[in-house]
Homo-oligomer: A and B are copies of this chain.
Amino acid sequence: MDAGLHLLEHQNLSSLGMREVTREAGMSPAGFYRHFRDLAELGVALVEESLASLHAMIRATLAEQGEAEARIDRTVEVIARYVREHRAHARFLARERHGGVRPVREAIAAELRRFAEEVAGALGAQPESAGWSPEDVRMLAELYVDHMVSTAAAFLDAGPDGPGMDGSGSEGPGAGGPGSDGSREGCEGEAERRIARTARIQLRLIGVGRRHWLDS
């Protein structure tokens, strides 16, 4: 599984070969069948492995309570940390969520659905949700989960392994400011901080909408 995950950082699951995996793992090709029948089976195993840690982190974040602003900060930081510390897992999930292997796709979708239910439960228990219909709470939860996924994907794209800035970049109109290109390694968190800031503001905006939802 580690060999497969390592190879999947640059490839796609459907393009992965089992010979490739066994070679990376230092095994004989036939040895693969001792553990998995398919490559898809390896895929769903990786899905479970990938979502275990994320699930734990999210659950902990949902449990804690406090000021809305502090919760937003914690949430965004948890997402950033997951992507930073489990980059391979996160990329695998983002890549195969809509990938070509049906069982893997469905495994990820099912887990995300469970996430949404959990978030909906936590939201429903909050006092801000008084007077909300369960369907609306559920939709709010889905919005939060979708936003979490988008944010995680943005963190991934801004990661250190993607230097691909092509020349035709349309860098914001007249936004010449930030590009202090001097340090190549020191400013590794610059793009990530920008994404985190954006995510926080977006979450804050959703929260504002949530508080003013009943009077519209």
> Are A15 and B143 in contact, CB atoms less than 8 angstroms apart?
no
Query: Within 8 Å of chain B (Cβ to Cβ): is A18?
Result: no
**Please, what's the 1-or-0 string for A141-166, where 1 marks a CB less than 8 Å from any CB in chain B?**
01100110110010011000000101
Residues of B within 8 A of A15 (CB): 12, 14-15, 100
Q: How many copies does the complex hold?
A: 2
Query: Within 8 Å of chain B (Cβ to Cβ): is A52?
Result: no
> Are A140 and B110 in contact, CB atoms less than 8 angstroms apart?
no
Query: Within 8 Å of chain B (Cβ to Cβ): is A23?
Result: no
Give bound CA distance, A97 to B205, whole Å: 26
Residue from A14, A102, A168, A206 having most chain B Cβ neighbours under 10 A:
A14
The listed residue (B13, B14, B100, B205) touching A213 by CB distance below 8 A is B205
**Please, what's the 1-or-0 string for A1-26, where 1 marks a CB less than 8 Å from any CB in chain B?**
00000000011111100000000000
